[in-house]
A and B are shown apart, each in its own frame.
Chain A
Amino acid sequence: MNTIICTAFFGVVMMFFGVFVKSKKSPKYAAIIGLSAIILLNISELITGNSFFQIDIHEMLHFDNFNLLFITIALSCTLIYFLLSGSEIEKVGNHVGEYFALIFFVLCGISIAATFNTLLMLFIGIEIISIPLYILTASDKRNLKSNEAALKYFLMGAFSTGIMLMGIAFIYGGNPAASFHIDKIQLGIGKMPVMIAIGLLFLMVSMSFKVSAAPFHFWTPDVYDGAPTVFTSFMSTIVKAAGFFAFIRLFEHAFGVIQDQWQHLIIFITVATLLIGNVTAVFQQSVKRMLAYSSIAQAGFMLLALFALNGKAKEGILLYSAAYSLATIGMFGILTKMEDFTIDGFNGLAKEKPLLAFATTVFLLSLTGVPLTAGFQSKFFMLMAAVENGQHIWLVIVAVLFAAVSAYYYFKIIQSMYFKEAKTSGIVKLDALSKPFNIMLMVIVVIILIIGIYPEILIGWMYH
């Protein structure tokens, strides 16, 4: 509860901040301080179980260790993102305060989407996430690609929202208990009623759209490519993880008991996502677009949690959110410093900026899932969850084979950095490498390695 109220409130503060404070630097510092405070409040709620705000919410939201921990992870990743790429946000346009305000609103939406207890709160949460994102995508106002991406995102997003709302309506209509509460949907005995089935299908489609799972992924590469790189970084990591969290929460609580009736649909979506994401990523020349497709591919792995839907899957999704977000935020942070976004643009980076190349290597190894990195632990937990489920081991084998494919495109960047010579000097932007940026990169590297060696440092919080 702390987070929802504080992020919303602080978002409003940030909005006015731009009006009253003229300095371009100060919004960043304000945002960092504010977010740190919110994280502390959230952790105190996680530890004590009590919120500072006693509001009767009529069971529309539910707070437990699991979702509070997820919110902590999302907020902390955002803080790291601010620290690493905050100065890039300042370069996007003149309304710096507003960009930060919008991100705070997204965080508010994430907190709702992670804790919803009724379908209406889910809808509100997802919408609060989406609408600021449309604006952020379009924030590079004079860039045609950014505008196109925003329009595309908005139209597709609105469409999927409509489908979601319709799904909710169907479920409400087909539910004899006449309730939006996700634990009170009566699914009947045997085959589920038609209305519920239609509702479930619609919800699955719209949620797949939000997390860019195939075959509903078409908007992703264009939007990620068109949006300003700093915001792509935010959209493709923290927001996406939140979408997954909501997806899993919804299907676990509302339809968990009849999992065998919809599991094959998820299997289909998982395989399609892995296939399309990985195979298309192989052919990309632009690193930014490659990361967009790789985010689809990683979504395929996260879908395994939905397939498994057990305790390990919960731990897995937490680890995956953290590991994937950290590595990708780092990658995008480095990308914003590059002159050339193609893979050849990374040629010879190791010689010019060894530290940068080392950090990039760790991020890529983590995304590939090599031991000692957080990425390995997250994949490992996902695989454990899926194997524990007992059925469809072939799906797990398909998933790891695609993980081997993913090594191909991630390692292409490592190869350019270390084993190829730069054609021109000046691979990196001149103003690029400030000391704080380097320190932040190293901090992310260290966090990735710590989680990689001892993941219980993170998931242990679930059992406090």
Chain B
Amino acid sequence: MGNYFTFPDLLIWLPILAGGFCFFSKKDKEAKRTAIVFSIIILGVSVATLFFTDSVKHLNLNYVNYIWLKYLGATYYIGIDSTGRMLTLLTAIGFPIVLIATSNTTFKKPANFYGLLMLTQAGLMGVFLAMDALTFYFFWELALIPVYFLSSQWGGEKRIQATFKFFVYTFAGSLLMLIGIIYVYMHTGARSFEDGTIANHSFALNSFYNAQLSAVEQNWLFILFFIAFAIKMPIFPFHTWQPDAYDQSPTAVTMILSGIMVKMGLFGVIRWLIPMFPAASIHYRNVIMLLSIIGIVYASCIAMMQDNIKRLIAYSSIAHIGLMCAAIFAMNQISIQGVMLQMFNHGINIIGMWVVVEIIERQTGIKKISQLSGLATTAPTLTIFFIIIALANIALPLTNAFTGEFLMFSGIYNYNTWFAAIAGIGIILSAVYTLNMIQKVFYGSVNAATAEVKDISWNEKIVLLLIVGIIFFIGVYPQPLIDLTSGEINDLLLRIK
């Protein structure tokens, strides 16, 4: 079976194929339908990958290596390991949810919209699957280009500036990473190919792990890579593009950005940064944890003052990501396990939040919290769903985020009590601004803006039910996800020691 198709190939080529179909679809509805059908097929493939995890028996299904630039020692090497499995699953779940939830919104030029959206999915899949530094860089950039066009074309009033800021930030970051990649590449060993060609260096992941680098080199290379990842996550003080971009992008794109794309940064740190530069990671861990924790408190404080519901969620996302970044650099079994879990959970929860916000914004045209009131009376089902998702977002027990945050906190606590204590403020503050928002938007008396709001339609119900289902399932029984990634965490920790 592995000779004919492999999972990584399918996960990358199906979205590209779907994108192509969308671009050339003549009728407006056709593009949407194609995208939804394909994204569900991709979800099926992604779920199937969970059953072929055996690393020896299914090697041919999970890894594939095509010769690309032979003289440079670069191959198109993609493979699906456990972290990749989890994040591609998140991507595969995220897209149908986004597509179905926003299917009531009409976009002008839907062919281009859905085409670009599917290309974004291909880029994201590629990032999570790349096992070769050059392949990784290619996909890293390719995920960005369609998003640039999506946000600039279909976004809000100030979309052009906001998106461009986002683009330039990430582009500059990834160019710095490119230098880092080249420098590490120059210090890798030779590799030979089957036909006898010998390349002096290699871009393969393993060669990068084993590159000969002195401590000084590691330290400055670490910074080059970290800036690229920190911009993507984003970590304080590289976060300034994010609230604008989330606010101005069309909500479908914001869901992708905040739910999946930010995981690229975290994934980069786990897959590339720490294993490549273990010594430097330990050298800088306090600085980075400090930055992350400043980010948590700072973003939470701003979120409390926000009147714009989209910006509120954007800032709350900065806080959550900051916590994950801090937990990665606590670098112990528990904290990284928490991060793995939380990467998935955060993606699901925040997409759920955006789905609700999108429904409200589409029906009322209002983003201001102060102008909304009494939605619980006019849209009771929506309210119930939103409250569950919001409670998951503040990590209440029984919801998915609880396990993740609990693990992360105990990990950080093991490393440094003070960091854990200050980061804990973030949790309290997140309860404050989230509940405050719920109170103002959903309760109180109905006003002119919210009187006409209809309750949710069937497709939104399906999506929200799915999200809430995942929230409770992982909240009660997180073990499958923990089992999925625990092996890789051990490898990672071994490399640090």
Contacts and interface: CB of A to CB of B under 8 A. Distances in A.
Given A383-B178, A387-B183, A404-B175, A418 B168 contact: no
A65 B167 CA distance: 40
A216 interface: no
Contacts of B141: 370-371
A456 B69 contact: yes
A403 to B, nearest CB: 6
Interface string B44-81: 00000000000000000000000011110000000000
Nearest to B139: A371
Contacts of B304: none
Interface stretch (A99-107, A162-170, A394-402): A394-402
A452 B364 CA distance: 46
Interface string A393-431: 100110011011001100100010011000000000000
B171 A418 contact: no
B168 A408 contact: yes
B168 A387 contact: no
Nearest to B164: A411
A126 to B, nearest CB: 32
Nearest to B154: A419
Contacts of B176: 397, 400
A403 B175 contact: yes
Interface string B139-155: 00110010001001100
A368 to B, nearest CB: 8
Interface string A370-399: 111000000010011001100001001100
Contacts of B167: 407, 411
A256 interface: no
A137 B71 CA distance: 42
Contact of A372 (B70, B142, B185): B142
A397 B160 contact: no
B465 interface: no
A34 interface: no
Contacts of A403: 175
A461 B49 CA distance: 42
A388 B186 contact: yes
Contacts of B138: 371-372
B182 interface: yes
B153 to A, nearest CB: 6
Contacts of B182: 380, 383-384, 387
Nearest to A365: B145
A310 to B, nearest CB: 11
A393 B179 contact: yes
Given A372-B142, A387-B186, A411-B164, A400 B178 contact: yes
Nearest to A397: B179
A454 interface: yes
Contacts of B186: 384, 387-388
A455 B160 CA distance: 33
A393 to B, nearest CB: 7
B178 A404 contact: no
Contacts of A371: 137-138, 141-142
Contact of B71 (A370, A400, A415, A456): A456
Contact of A404 (B71, B153, B172, B185): B172
A164 B105 CA distance: 66
Nearest to A388: B186
Contacts of B70: 456
A269 to B, nearest CB: 21
Contacts of B179: 383, 387, 393, 396-397, 400
A419 B185 CA distance: 39
A380 B178 contact: yes
A372 B122 CA distance: 14
Nearest to B68: A454
A393 B183 contact: yes
A365 B152 CA distance: 16
A455 B152 contact: no
Q: Of residues B70, B153, B171, B186, which shows the largest number of chain A Cβ atoms within 10 Å of its Cβ?
A: B171
A419 B152 contact: yes
Contacts of A397: 176, 179
Q: Of residues A388, A400, A408, which shows the largest number of chain B Cβ atoms within 10 Å of its Cβ?
A: A400
A418 B152 contact: yes
Given A370-B145, A371-B142, A404-B168, A415 B152 contact: yes
Given A372-B142, A411-B164, A415-B164, A455 B69 contact: yes
Contacts of B185: 384
Contacts of A380: 178, 182
A463 B138 CA distance: 26
B168 A407 contact: yes
A384 B74 CA distance: 13
A411 B183 CA distance: 29
Contacts of A396: 179
A401 B172 contact: yes
A415 B153 CA distance: 9
Contacts of A456: 69-71
A246 B152 CA distance: 43
Nearest to B70: A456
A383 B145 CA distance: 22
A371 B140 CA distance: 9
A419 B160 contact: yes
Contacts of A365: 145
A415 B137 CA distance: 25
B175 A401 contact: yes
Nearest to A452: B138
Contacts of A408: 164, 168
A407 B152 contact: no
Interface in B151-209: 152-153, 159-160, 164, 167-168, 171-172, 175-176, 178-179, 182-183, 185-186
A384 B185 CA distance: 9
B116 to A, nearest CB: 11
Q: Of residues A383, A397, A404, A415, which shows the largest number of chain B Cβ atoms within 10 Å of its Cβ?
A: A404
Contacts of B152: 415, 418-419
Interface string B70-110: 11000000000000000000000000000000000000000
Contacts of B153: 418-419
Contacts of B68: 454
Contacts of A384: 182, 185-186
B238 to A, nearest CB: 14
A403 B167 CA distance: 13
Q: Of residues A387, A396, A401, A418, which shows the largest number of chain B Cβ atoms within 10 Å of its Cβ?
A: A387
Contacts of B137: 371
B160 to A, nearest CB: 5
A314 B176 CA distance: 23
B318 to A, nearest CB: 23
A370 B174 CA distance: 11
A415 B168 contact: no
Interface of A: 365, 370-372, 380, 383-384, 387-388, 393, 396-397, 400-401, 403-404, 407-408, 411, 415, 418-419, 454-456, 463
Task: Identify the 3 closest CB pairs spanning chains A and B, nearest first.
Answer: A404-B172, A400-B175, A371-B141
Given A371-B142, A401-B175, 6 more contacts: A371-B141, A393-B183, A397-B176, A400-B175, A411-B164, A454-B69
28 contacts: A365-B145, A370-B141, A370-B145, A371-B141, A371-B142, A372-B142, A380-B178, A380-B182, A383-B179, A383-B182, A384-B186, A387-B179, A387-B183, A387-B186, A388-B186, A400-B175, A404-B168, A404-B172, A404-B175, A407-B167, A408-B164, A415-B160, A418-B153, A419-B152, A419-B159, A454-B69, A455-B69, A463-B71
